[in-house]
Amino acid sequence: MNDMSKSTSTASIQELETPALLLEEARMQRNIARMQAQMKRLGVSFRPHVKTNKSMEVTRLLMASPTGPITVSTLKEADYFAARGVRDILYAVCIAPNKLDHALRLMRMGVRLLLILDNMETAQCLVEFARQHSTSFELLIEIDSDGHRAGLTPDAAELISIARCLQDGGIMIKGVMTHAGGSYDCASLDAVQAMAEQERAAVVHAATRLRAAGMECPVVSVGSTPTALLARHLEGVTEVRAGVFVFFDLFMAGINVCAVHDIALSVLATVIGHQAEKGWTLIDAGWMAMSRDRGTSKQAIDQGYGVVCDLDGQPIEDLILIGANQEHSIVAHRDGRLTRLSHLPVGTQVRILPNHACATAAQFPHYNVVGPDRQVRDTWSRFSGW
């Protein structure tokens, strides 16, 4: 199935109506190559997370084969990629009982769907549903490796009791998984590397306990872009999941996982006015285009709602978006000083680097894929919602 709206010829980005989502192809390819080289060095398989890109064209560049594997965060993502031939899918959010019918439909389409959970209530629901429908599920138990969000601690007594409940109910326990979301709060590369080791040790310990209790536990899965890229070794781990590395964003640059010039995603916007006495320039890309994400506000450098760049994607004179309304944003100098912005007259186009690639991309129906010389060589569809 073709997911690209083909361009009959290349066009300059300056011909696009704004706001528009740009994907810098060369930067994206470098980012993908960097992750692939790291996976090869670590000797683990890669299960890319596609929640950021939500595009078949991007995902094809990441998968080991046309059928997967991939990681998703919604069952709509699973539907979309399954309809396009992907068959090995991990749904990496603890399964809700009201989604089991949907999961079963995917399995009956021929999808090898891996589910996750981290509590006895859900385990019992899963076992009962499987009994009622004369079926089974493949499942990973989620491990909390950093106190970030969900999962069982590696030493939790419930880990074994939940596993036995599932096994006795005919559910196939394939292993354990964790997500070191705490890596996003690390203040240095050494701290990220320490978090990567903490993530690895926690999930390997949980797998060891399950094996000692009689479970095979063939899958030991970890994943976050920072820890995936900076892990020194992954002994005992079988696969890695990561997604935002494809595009990167200002948040990732803020923790030094990438540089600003690695960010492949930007929003093209147009200058529509000025408030000279305030040092403001107004553009036509507000929070409906950029999202309300302010993730860099707690970092050493607050990037506002995004960094302002020229048409080549190079930052301009420390200009950021200091404010955003639905369809307007305010460009100003990050230190608040008044500055002459006559070099950005009405009609000037700029590119805005996002704080959070996932949230910004979610505002648009397609990527304008940018090749050399600011040329849009194609458009790639993406989707959103649940």
User: Which domain-ending residue is among 198, 214, 246?
Assistant: 246
Regarding whether 168 and 36 lie in a shared domain, the answer is yes
Name every residue whose Cβ is closer than 8 Å to that of residue 190 and which is 6 or more positions away in sequence. none
Residue 126 lies in a domain: yes
* DSSP structural state of residue 346: T
The candidate with the shortest Cα–Cα distance to 179, out of 155, 207, 147, is 147
Regarding whether 187 and 319 lie in a shared domain, the answer is no
Mean pLDDT of 341-366: 93
Domain count, the chain: 2
Regarding whether 278 and 217 lie in a shared domain, the answer is no
Residue 317: per-residue pLDDT: 86
Regarding whether 372 and 234 lie in a shared domain, the answer is no
Mean pLDDT of 348-361: 97
pLDDT in tens, 12-65: 999 999 999 999 999 999 999 999 999 999 999 999 999 999 999 999 999 999
Mean pLDDT of 113-138: 98
Residue 5: per-residue pLDDT: 45
Rg of the chain over Cα atoms, rounded to whole angstroms, equals 22
176, amino acid identity: V
For residue 345, what are the domain limits?
A: 260-381
Residue 16 lies in a domain: no
Residue 338: per-residue pLDDT: 73
Residue 343's pLDDT band (cuts 50, 70, 90): confident
Residue 4's pLDDT band (cuts 50, 70, 90): very low
Q: How far apart are CA 379 and CA 371, in angstroms?
A: 11
Mean pLDDT of 133-160: 96
Mean pLDDT of 128-153: 96
Residue 339: per-residue pLDDT: 64
Q: How far apart are CA 207 and CA 155, in angstroms?
A: 11
User: Which domain-ending residue is among 246, 281, 305?
Assistant: 246
Residue 359 lies in a domain: yes
pLDDT in tens, 183-242: 999 989 999 999 999 999 999 999 999 999 999 999 999 999 999 999 999 999 999 999
Mean pLDDT of 286-312: 95
Residue 342's pLDDT band (cuts 50, 70, 90): low
364's tokens: 């648009």
Please report, for the domain that includes residue 278, its CATH number. Answer: 2.40.37.20
Regarding whether 203 and 137 lie in a shared domain, the answer is yes
Residue 341: per-residue pLDDT: 59
User: Which domain-ending residue is among 196, 212, 246?
Assistant: 246
What percent of the chain has a predicted confidence (pLDDT) above 70? 97
* DSSP structural state of residue 56: H
Residue 340: per-residue pLDDT: 61
Residue 17 lies in a domain: no
Residue 12 lies in a domain: no
Per DSSP, the residues of 110-162 read T-EEEEEE-SHHHHHHHHHHHHHTT---EEEEEE-SSSSSSSB-TT-HHHHHH
Question: Please, what is the average pLDDT of the chain?
Answer: 94
Q: Over 60: is that where the pLDDT of 296 sits? A: yes
Q: How far is residue 124 from each of residues 134, 200, 261, 319, 336, measured CA to CA in Å?
A: 15, 28, 49, 54, 57
Residue 2's pLDDT band (cuts 50, 70, 90): very low
Regarding whether 374 and 240 lie in a shared domain, the answer is no
Residue 1: per-residue pLDDT: 41
Residue 6: per-residue pLDDT: 45
Residue 19 lies in a domain: no
Residue 123 lies in a domain: yes
Q: Over 70: is that where the pLDDT of 3 sits? A: no
Q: Over 80: is that where the pLDDT of 7 sits? A: no
pLDDT in tens, 64-121: 999 999 999 999 999 999 999 999 999 999 999 999 999 999 999 999 999 999 999 9
Mean pLDDT of 307-325: 95
